[in-house]
Amino acid sequence: MKILVVLTSHDTLGDSGEKTGFWLEELAAPYYAFVDAGAELTLASPKGGQPPLDPKSNEPAFQTDATRRFEADATATAALAATRKLAEASIADYDAVFYPGGHGPLWDLAEDAASIALIESAVRADKPVAAVCHAPAALRHVKDADGKPLVNGRTVTGFSNSEEEAVGLTQVVPFLVEDMLESNGGHYSKAADWQSHVVQDGLLITGQNPASSEAAARALLDQLG
């Protein structure tokens, strides 16, 4: 069982002067769900190498058993420091794709041609794709075989407008995940802010927020059977 984990390479939070990147828990919790289930992981990002960590996700309030395990795990941190360039990854080599969030994907993965092609190839090959929190941004320009948005007519979730408002970044982000999914014809579903919520529609699995990351990973493992 081989899973490709796709991380952002974008580190600037719009014009705020603050840094962003991937959210640590959204990598760490799925990482161990996969590894402990015997999966072989490859980490990739648009630029390759060390992806930027959202510094807020490393604050004590957001630490979990999984994040502490990850940071103490030399194998995991080495893999993170040497992510593969996304454009060099082929879906033929993997059974599934998982996208952790953080605000970074709103800027790069949403527009990245290699990421778009990867997801489209995965769906054509009947391989599941999962994305959590802000990572459903990567679905923004993905089309199905008929040329319609992949999310059109599908039940999906992702970071909600109310959660974005709660973190004070509604005016900073280039678009809101909830609005984008709905404008592309998705049937947006959500739970209360910060509660775990995962939906699956066919091969597409989406999670609402950081609390949903492990559940989204487990849903992907269930799909792989």
pLDDT band per the 50, 70, 90 thresholds, residue 76: very high
> pLDDT digits over 119-142, tens only?
999 999 999 999 999 999 999 999
Tell me the mean pLDDT in the region 207-216. 98
Position 101 scores a pLDDT of 97
pTM for the model stands at: 0.97
Position 207 scores a pLDDT of 98
User: Which pair of tokens denotes residue 9?
Assistant: 């390479």
Tell me the mean pLDDT in the region 161-187. 98
> pLDDT digits over 22-63, tens only?
999 999 999 999 999 999 999 999 999 999 999 999 999 999
Position 221 scores a pLDDT of 98
Domains of the chain and CATH, by start: 2-224 (3.40.50.880)
